[in-house]
Chain A
C-alpha cells in the first residue's frame, strides 16, 4: 500500500481549505484519506496512479475533480546547445535506456527539496519496482557540464565520491561498503560493467540504480536548474515516469526544456514527450458497462474532472490522455474514470431478471451430510490449517519424507498436510484440559505429489475421526463408522493390516467395492507419547473422493 503524505499548509495553498466536505471528495476521487493531522494529510494511492504521488500532481487532480482546475498542458522548450545525452553501446548490456529533461526556474526550500526526494522515493518503490525497472536521478545543472554520456565501465574503473560518503569509492566498493550500495547491490550483482552518467569533463554524475555523486548529484536551496534522468530497461515506463516528475516540477513553476537522446542502437529521440495521447471510444460502450445513460456533455464534463480531455471528431469520441497518466490502457479504463466522476454512491443497485438454475457441488453436499451424521453422534467438527510442520507429521509418520514445502514461510508451518490425522492428533494434544471423552472429526484436502496434475500436486478429499477417553477402544470407533456407512448406504469391510502407527492386531484397512479407502485402528502408544496424549485414542481416516 502506497501512502502519500503531504504538508497540509502547502496543499491548502493550492486547493483551498481542507474541510470535511473536501476530505469526502478526496476519498470519492479514489484516494482514500488515511489520516489528517494539524500539519499533514495522508492518502492511499492505488498502484495504477503513480502520477498522484507528489503534492503538485495530487493538488492538480483534487482541483480538477472539484471542477476548479483545467486540463493540464505543458509547454516544452526546445533543446538548447549541448542539451544532449548520448547512450553509448557499452551500457546496452546492463541498463539499456535513459530518458532525460532539464527544468529551469525552480525555487527550492527545505520543503520543496523534501518533495523532490519524496517523489523519487515513491516512484522508485511503485512503478520503479524498487529501482529494478526504473531509477531516477536529479542533479543541479550548475554543477555539471553538458553534454552528457550514459556509458558502462568495469566496476574497478569507476571512481567517484558517492552521496553520504567520506571518500572516493570504486564501483565494487560502493556495492560492498555504501549503505545504498548494499541495499541495491542485487541489481548489479555479477555484472561485468556498471552503468554511469558522465558529463563533458568525464566527471561521474551517478551510478544508477545505486547512487549519485556528492559533487554533482546533490540539490540545495541555491539550485535553480536541474537535470533529470530516468534509466532502466523499459523505455515506455521510463518515459511515463519522467513525465510524472516533469509534470510535478511544472506545478512548482519550473520551465521544461527537452534534450536530444542520441542512441545509435534504439534510435534518437527528443525527451520528454509531454503530448497527450488520443484514445477513441464509444459512449455506448461506457453506458452499457456502467448501466447508466450518458449524454456527450456529461461525458466531457466527467472526463474533465478526472483531468482527461475530450473531443468529438467526426462524430467519434476521442479522449485526450495527459502524458503523466500511466493507467489508461484501453477504453475500458475510461469507464472507471467516468464512474468515479459520476460518483460511486450514485449508482442504483439492480438485480437483473435473468433466469439461471442453481447447482450445488456434490462434494460439498455430501460433506454436509457426513458432517450432520457425525454431529448426530455427538462428535465435534474442527477446522484446521492446510499447512503444518515436518515435526508434526513425523510424530506419527516417522518415516515420511516426501514433504511438499512452501518457500520462505513467515509462520512455523511450512509443509502441506499429507493427511488429516496429524491435525486432529495435534488438536487432542492441545486440549488435554477439556472434558473427556473428546470425539472430533474434520473433512478437508490433503496433498500428495502427482505428475499427471497440472501443478504436480494432487488434492484428495479426506475425512478423519479421532476419539479419546480413559477407556476407548476399537469397538467405540467401529460403531461410529458402521453407522456412518449405513447412513450413506455404502457397504464396507475391514481387513487386518500391520501398521506401526497403530496397535498391531487392532488396525485395519477399509475396503469398499474392492478398493482400499482408508485406515482404522487404535493409535500406537509411541504416537500418543509423541503427541503427549495421555489416554487411549482411536482414529480413522477415509478417502471421500470415491463417494462422488
Chain B
C-alpha cells in the first residue's frame, strides 16, 4: 500500500496518536499523555499502527508497590496500631468506666487490659496482635502486669507513622522506594494484604522507517469516518473520501440466542420419523410398574426391577387399569395370565403375579411405557396399520460417569400392522440412522423380555471408525400383544439411546456435558446440521 492510501486508512485515534510517536523508543504513558488519550485507547491505536507496519514496540517489566485489599481499607480508615494508640490516648484522658475496661494504674496513667484490646478497639485477633506488636516495637507502649500502658509523648502520638506516610504515596515504583519508605515497606510486607508488589508491563513504542515517512506527511486529509443521515440528506458526501478500513482486524465477539443443542437434534430426529409417516406419542415420565414392566412381560423378579437400577418414588402407590367384567377384554387379567402362564399356549413365567408390585410408582426406565399405553389406545381406536414414535427422557438409578447418565434421551417407535415383519424393522431403523448420519448399521441377536425376535443395533462411526452400540429393538411377544389387542398382531418396536449418536457432532466426549449448561460452551456450540 502506498503511503497515501495508508493515510486514508488511519482511524481518528491513529491519526491522533501517530504524531506523538518519535523515531526513538518512548513510553506509552507519555505518548498517551501527549495525545490526550487514555492509555487503553493509545494502546489500541498503537496496535492498529503496528498492523500497518508504521510503529514497532517493545515491552519491559518493572516492579510497582501497590495497595493490597486491606491496605485500601486501612488507608480509608486507619491502621490497627493507630486505632489502638487512639484508644490508649482516650483511656488516659477518661475516667474509670462502669464496665471496668479502663482501670487506673498505680502510676496514675490509665491503661487497657491486654485481653481487652480486641473488644475495646473492635479489631480481630490478628489485627490486635499486630497493633500491639507494632506499638511495642516503636516503644510507644509498655506492658505491665497484663496491662497496656501508653508510653509516648504527645508529639509522637500526633505525628504520622512512617507506614501511614508510605501508604499514602502508593502506587510507587519499587526502585523509587528509599530510606524510611524502605523500612515502612519491610514492616508492611510482613503483614498480609496491605501492600503488594506487582510486575507491571511497560511498553515503549517508536516509529518504523515507513512510520517516519507517513508521520512526516500531512495527516489532516479530510476523510469521512462515518456516513450519517445528515450527510445523505444534504448530499455532503459528494466529492468526499471515506477512511479506508482494515478489514482483517478482529471485532468484538457477539453471541446469538439459540435452542439447546439436544433439542435442535431432537427436532431434527422428529422430522425424520414424521417424514416416514409416523405419529408422535408423548406421556408421563412418572409411571406405574404396570406400564413400564408388567404390560411388557417383564417378570416381577427380573433384576431390572430392583431398586438399585430404577428410581422408585418413596411412599407412592399407583392405580392399575380397571378390572373389567369380561375377562377376555381385561388387560389387567390378561397381563396376569401372560405372566402366570396360559396366553396362547405360552408357558409364561410360571409364578404368582402380584398386583401390588405393579402399583409401584417409578421414573420410566425406557420410553417403551409410551408404546405400551399407545397399544392399549389402539385397541379401542382400531387404528391399523399404526406407526408411532417418541423422543423422550428415561431414568436409571446409575452412578454417573462419562458414558452413563441417570437421565438420558431415547428414540422409541412402534409399527402395528398385521403384515409387519422382522425385515421391515431393519428397514425403518436403517433409514432413520442413515438420516442421522450413519450409513452403516449392524444387527446382532439380543434378549429383551418383551420382544421376540430381539436385536441389538450398532452404527458404524464414520469418524472414529468403530461400531457404537445403541440399544435394542424387536417384535413384541404375544404375551404383550394379546393382553393389549385380544389377539397377536405383529408390532415392531425399538428404543435406542439418542444422546450417544449426537454427541460426536457437538464434539462432546463426556455424556455429563449434555446437561451441564456451561453458558460459555453453549454460546460457542455450533448448530445441528445434517445433509
Interface, chain A (partner B; CB < 8 A): 27-30, 32, 46-49, 129, 132-133, 234, 236-237, 288-292, 329-333, 335-336, 339-340, 344-345, 347-352, 354-361, 363-364, 368, 371-372, 374-387, 404-411, 413, 416, 427, 430-431, 433-435, 438-440, 442, 445, 447, 454-457, 459
Contact = CB atoms under 8 A, between A and B. Distances in A.
B361 A48 contact: no
B283 to A, nearest CB: 9
Contacts, number: 263
A434 B444 CA distance: 46
B119 interface: no
A386 B311 CA distance: 12
Given A357-B277, A406-B314, A457-B313, A336 B397 contact: no
A354 B385 CA distance: 8
Contacts of A447: 286
A360 B344 contact: no
B519 A371 contact: no
B424 A372 contact: no
Contacts of A290: 421-423, 453
Given A377-B257, A383-B263, A456-B316, 9 more contacts: A132-B301, A291-B421, A330-B344, A340-B445, A359-B279, A380-B258, A383-B262, A406-B313, A456-B317
Contact of B257 (A379, A383, A409, A454): A379
Contacts of B447: 30, 46-49
Nearest to A338: B453
A345 B423 contact: no
A375 B257 contact: yes
B393 interface: yes
A275 to B, nearest CB: 16
A407 B423 contact: no
A250 to B, nearest CB: 24
Contacts of B302: 47
A347 B479 contact: no
Contacts of B475: 289
Given A330-B344, A380-B519, A455-B361, A351 B260 contact: no
Contact of B347 (A330, A374, A438): A330
Contacts of A409: 311, 397, 406
B387 A457 contact: no
Contact of B319 (A404, A410, A413, A454): A454
A427 B517 contact: yes
B312 interface: yes
B47 interface: no
Contacts of B280: 359-361, 364
A67 to B, nearest CB: 18
Interface string B389-408: 00001010111100000110
A236 B523 CA distance: 60
B520 A291 contact: no
A329 to B, nearest CB: 4
B8 interface: no
Interface string B315-347: 111110000000000000000000000001111
A386 B393 contact: yes
B41 to A, nearest CB: 22
B165 interface: no
Nearest to A442: B260
B275 interface: yes
A382 B517 contact: yes
Interface residues of B, number: 95
A360 B257 contact: no
B124 interface: no
A329 B346 contact: yes
A332 B346 CA distance: 9
Nearest to A340: B445
Given A234-B350, A351-B428, A376-B257, A381 B263 contact: yes
B279 A349 contact: no
28 contacts: A29-B445, A30-B447, A47-B447, A236-B350, A329-B347, A330-B345, A339-B422, A349-B429, A350-B423, A354-B419, A356-B277, A358-B275, A360-B270, A360-B280, A363-B282, A380-B255, A381-B259, A382-B517, A383-B514, A384-B515, A404-B314, A406-B313, A407-B307, A427-B517, A430-B517, A435-B520, A454-B319, A456-B316
A384 B512 CA distance: 11
Contact of B444 (A129, A288, A344, A376): A344
Interface string B270-281: 100111111111
A66 to B, nearest CB: 16
A339 B317 contact: no
A377 B14 CA distance: 36
B243 interface: no
A455 B259 contact: no
A454 B288 contact: yes
B278 A358 contact: yes
B520 A406 contact: no
Interface in B157-193: none
Contact of B312 (A234, A331, A407): A407
B518 interface: yes
B511 interface: no
A237 B318 CA distance: 31
Contacts of B285: 386, 445, 459
B351 interface: yes
B493 interface: no
A454 B318 contact: yes
A136 to B, nearest CB: 17
A336 B523 contact: no
Contact of B288 (A288, A331, A435, A455): A455
Contacts of B446: 30, 46
Nearest to B419: A352
B441 to A, nearest CB: 9
Nearest to A48: B447
| Closest A-B pairs by Cβ, 10 of them | A291-B421, A46-B447, A30-B445, A336-B453, A349-B426, A291-B423, A434-B519, A359-B279, A330-B346, A351-B427
B478 interface: yes
Contacts of B393: 386
Contacts of A385: 406-407, 515
B490 interface: yes
B102 interface: no
A30 B447 CA distance: 9
Contact of A336 (B259, B287, B431, B445): B445
A291 B422 contact: yes
B311 A440 contact: no
Nearest to A359: B279
Contacts of A363: 282
A124 to B, nearest CB: 13
B445 A383 contact: no
Contacts of A459: 284-286
Nearest to A461: B282
B514 to A, nearest CB: 7
Contacts of A454: 288, 318-319
Interface in B495-531: 514-515, 517-520, 522-523
A381 B419 CA distance: 43
A344 B311 contact: no
Interface in B345-363: 345-348, 350-351, 361, 363
A163 to B, nearest CB: 27
B100 interface: no
B164 to A, nearest CB: 33
B15 interface: no
A329 B319 CA distance: 29
A412 to B, nearest CB: 10
Given A427-B517, A433-B520, A374 B267 contact: no
B313 A383 contact: no
A46 B444 CA distance: 12
A107 to B, nearest CB: 35
A30 B285 CA distance: 32
A163 B426 CA distance: 53
Given A383-B514, A386-B395, A440 B519 contact: yes
Nearest to A373: B257
